[in-house]
A and B are shown apart, each in its own frame.
Chain A
Amino acid sequence: MAILSQSEAQAILTKVLSFSKADECEASLSGNVGGNVRTARNTISTSGASDNVSLAVESRFGKRSGVATCNQFDDATLRSCVQRAEEIARLAPESPEYMPLLGPQQYVAAPESFSQRTAAINPDYRATQVAAGMQICDQQKLSSAAFLEDSAGFRAVRNSKGLQAYQQRSGVTYSVTVRTPDGTGSGYATADYNDASKLDTSALTTTAAKKAAMSREAKAIEPGKYTVIMEPAALVANTDASLLAALMGALDARSADEGRSFLSKKGGGNKKGEKLFDERVTIYSDPTNPEIADLTFSGDGRPHQKTTWIEKGVVKNLYTSRYWAQKAGIPDIPRPNGWIMEGGTQSLEDMIKGTQKGILVTRLWYIRPVDPQTLLYTGLTRDGTFYIENGKIKHPVKNFRFNESPIIMLNNLEAIGKPVRMGGNLVPPLKIRDFTFTSLSDAV
């Protein structure tokens, strides 16, 4: 049932709306079919498949609203889900931030968000893909732990004001950590796509295996400020918080206006329009970009469109709720999904060649906020940290803990490489001076 067609999904939503007694009602359906395989110690540990569709109903009486969800689709359950949302709405106090539901909207098309090849993945495909990686590690007497996950589904929205939206999307993600049997070396690689035909688990595992072998017998060097080359996986993670995602997550107009953001100005107001980063920093979002195609409508039905967030180091736009946009008299822009950081043409290898002294970072880990005032974050390097000298990787180094802010980081740019897809974004490798490492970790 999970991938309903547009007409099937809208038929259910129309029925849901017909059950509504509220002043306004919006219903959304999300469905996914997918599966996963997880390996460790060069063998499969767990795997699974899931098939689910869920419904969310928001009911409103005047300025009161309530939300209820369910995932069964007989008439009785649909009715009770609507009733439950209505009961909550009746009990809720009036919201001073009430905004009427949106009427019909125009959405751009993003046909690349869905791939039939990804939707057709079956257990044999998954087993074959992870087996290819495990075989490489078996041959090299290395130990791998990997994860392959695919999903295909849809999202549909309909409301009592005439808004309708529907889009299908799919995705596949593979990540692999390869360790040496003595536990002294570890390497990592990852990739994600809408279209599974682009995935090459062998190539990714080979990269991780090479790094694992190279990272044995790491040397301890003193923590301090270093020039670093951050690979894209060190800047944006599929699975953890990340420095660039933290920056993008802080571009909220309301918190800036309210004085509780790095974008807040002394005395009031925000820093939109100010140059806060190196002039080579340009970040925008575009849900139709074929490399990172994503949903073209937001959770509240607003269209996602190509939007520039930072241009040549200047903060150009902040995202906001509809309420705050109206109150503050600012553009009404939803928070983006994926985004694109513009880069140059240099590959990672080119950037290493151009580095006199520095540290190559494969991946960062356990990144957590320390101070929202300065957007300071802490975390550690992991799975391949190397010392670069005279344009070459000279030796592996022990992992570091860092305490750094992406704002400071993007003011200390030395070079920007060619962007690659990472976690649904396009992210270039970055060379950054004076990156702050505060202690050493014994972890491999």
Chain B
Amino acid sequence: MKRRDFVGLTGLATGALFLPSIPGFGSTLVTPERLLETVDVAVKKRLADAALNAAKSAGASYADVRIGRYLNQSVFTREKQVQNIASGESQGAGVRVIANGTWGFAATNDLSEAGLAKAAQTATAIAKANSKVQKEKVILAPQKGFGEVSWKTPIVQSAFEVPIAQKVDLLLSANGKALEGGASFVNSALFQINEQKYFASTDGSYIDQDIHRIWPTFTVSAVDRSSGKFRSRQALSAPMGMGYEYLVPKAKDKIAGPAGSGLVGYKMSYDLLEDITAATREAKQKIMAKSVTPGKYDLVLDPNHLGLTIHESIGHATELDRVLGYEANYAGTSFATLDWKKQNKPYGSKVVNIVADKTQPGSLGAVGYDDEGVKAGQWDIIKDGMLVDYQKIRDQAHIVGQDHSDGCCYAQSWEDVQFQRMPNVSLKPGKAKMSVDDMVKNVDKGIYIAGRGSFSIDQQRYNFQFGGTVFYAIEKGKITGMLEDVAYQANTQEFWNSCAATCDQSDYRMFGSFNDGKGQPAQSSAVSHGSATTRFNGVNVINTARKIG
């Protein structure tokens, strides 16, 4: 981009004109080239040391500090107009300590050395107050200090650099396609996130990270006034850990859905205009679609749908904090307890291989280090259908006899305490060559489902019900038409044991969850789930149509 364009049109151009009030963060206008630079690391190190030293002086045996600058920008449109453009910035620091064997945490937006020292003292006072009623002392897995290191999401172009006018044009062009195609209503949005996080701990780490995420999405609605029916079709985009390059479509990233569906799936780039054109056609088709006959069906699940099923029935079920009961009051526990794992029961069929990966390029969960200074990595969760490991952080590893964390600690902001969050959890594609058409041709009575829809699972991750965005009947190996009112209900273990086959790497794509909630106070995290199109045999499908008034 030319510098003139950048200066004139970028919301973040002014974004970078935020003159950080932190002493030493500068007090004069920065030049445009510096607009996207993160705050001076030396300043953050000085502030971090002030917090760590104050914590130690107050009696903490361990301390870490996260100094965060969080930027977000959202553009919302409907039909031919922009509804809102918002640009947010939040800065502050969170200090976590162990004192008397107990955690304490305090956060402040006062980014002065005195402010951070005060937060460290408050965190230590909280830890000491809680230690009077604490029964189990915190045991941290050892973690070497990494010294001064940095990591950045490997983006091609920051979405914050792109002129707002260009983003607005794209969304309004997409809306135009929908309206030309006969949509009654269309809403589109673009979300962009930049987390500039600095982590330091008494272990000797000073980690500076610059993390980017993007999510383009829309909903097209068709209303039939005569019948009073309305139906919608959402975008088949995935939120990604990428820059604006995700919105530059490339032919190599497009994957055709099964013959007869007209669907297209997307890998590392997304064609918004193509998808909204298809969505408009499908929203209208949904009004006329045949209501499903309940019963048992073989399901062929597109990665843009299956990701959510993986997320709910495997991702959350294998969080060790949940398994141990730490989430019992809110997000729930898990059937996959340590005792259950010891019994060596299969979690799924032998084609089910689930890997956790905090390093996957383009994924929402990719980082260099987690929010307690552990280097990101990958490991197996389910191997050949058997549960082999969980997702852990430093204070949990000893409970399962391990001496290291998996690097799964995350906080949604500087203001929130970090705790165990899901890494990218993905189903490995099959090794044998298999296209989605190869898979469909062997299905006698089935349903092909793409896109996220209604989703719900119990607090121990047994019973779930999922809908979808679009549904197609499969009869004798062929897609025969669109269905409506479809939801499937299953038990997690029965479902994954009914997994019959998964397509190969060429069909592999990522699904993303931009706002995954957990914890008290509830926090949001972003995570991706990769898979290829996968078949599940004999799943119970219900009809969700009801009548009111």
Contact = CB atoms under 8 A, between A and B. Distances in A.
21 contacts: A43-B135, A47-B103, A47-B104, A48-B126, A65-B85, A67-B86, A67-B87, A68-B86, A71-B90, A84-B15, A84-B17, A84-B18, A92-B168, A143-B325, A266-B226, A266-B227, A368-B455, A380-B459, A380-B463, A401-B463, A439-B463
Given A48-B104, A73-B21, A88-B11, 10 more contacts: A44-B102, A50-B107, A67-B84, A70-B18, A91-B85, A91-B165, A127-B130, A146-B329, A271-B549, A366-B456
Contacts of A127: 129-130, 132-133
A391 interface: no
B81 A378 contact: no
Contact of A260 (B223, B327, B459): B223
Contacts, number: 323
Interface residues of A, number: 108
Contacts of A124: 129
B89 A149 contact: no
B51 to A, nearest CB: 14
A443 interface: yes
A109 to B, nearest CB: 29
B335 to A, nearest CB: 7
Interface of B: 9, 11, 13-15, 17-22, 27, 80-92, 94, 102-111, 122-123, 125-127, 129-130, 132-136, 163-165, 168, 172, 184-185, 221, 223, 225-230, 232, 324-330, 332-333, 335, 337, 415-417, 419, 454-463, 465, 467, 485, 487, 489, 491, 520-522, 542, 544-549
Given A124-B129, A374-B546, A76 B19 contact: yes
B81 A95 contact: yes
Contacts of A48: 94, 104-107, 123, 126, 416-417
A148 B214 CA distance: 34
A77 B21 contact: yes
B119 to A, nearest CB: 8
Interface in A416-440: 438-440
A405 B547 CA distance: 10
A42 interface: yes
Contact of A123 (B91, B125, B333, B485): B125
Interface in A122-142: 122-124, 126-128, 130-131, 134
A42 B130 contact: no
Contact of A442 (B18, B462, B520): B462
A231 to B, nearest CB: 17
Interface stretch (A33-41, A297-305, A333-341): A33-41
Contacts of B105: 46-49
Nearest to A129: B133
Q: Which 9 A-B pairs have the closest CB atoms?
A: A48-B105, A443-B460, A145-B328, A123-B129, A441-B463, A266-B228, A443-B458, A131-B133, A76-B19
Interface stretch (A164-172, A174-182, A284-292): A174-182
B185 A35 contact: no
A403 B544 contact: yes
A44 B104 CA distance: 10
Contacts of A36: 520-521
A440 B20 contact: no
Nearest to B122: A49
A74 interface: yes
A126 B105 CA distance: 14
Contacts of B90: 54, 69-71
Interface in A347-384: 365-376, 378-380, 382
Given A40-B326, A52-B415, A179-B328, A81 B18 contact: yes
B289 to A, nearest CB: 13
A8 interface: no
B85 A67 contact: yes
A440 B81 CA distance: 46
B27 A76 contact: yes
A373 B520 contact: no
B463 A92 contact: no
A69 B225 CA distance: 41
Contacts of B328: 40, 143, 145, 177, 179, 186
A45 interface: yes
A379 B454 CA distance: 10
A263 B13 CA distance: 44
Contacts of A115: none
Nearest to B491: A442
Contacts of B102: 44
A365 B328 CA distance: 12
A130 B133 contact: yes
A421 to B, nearest CB: 19
A279 interface: no
A71 B228 CA distance: 46
Nearest to A406: B548
A259 B223 contact: yes
Interface in A244-265: 258-260, 262, 264-265
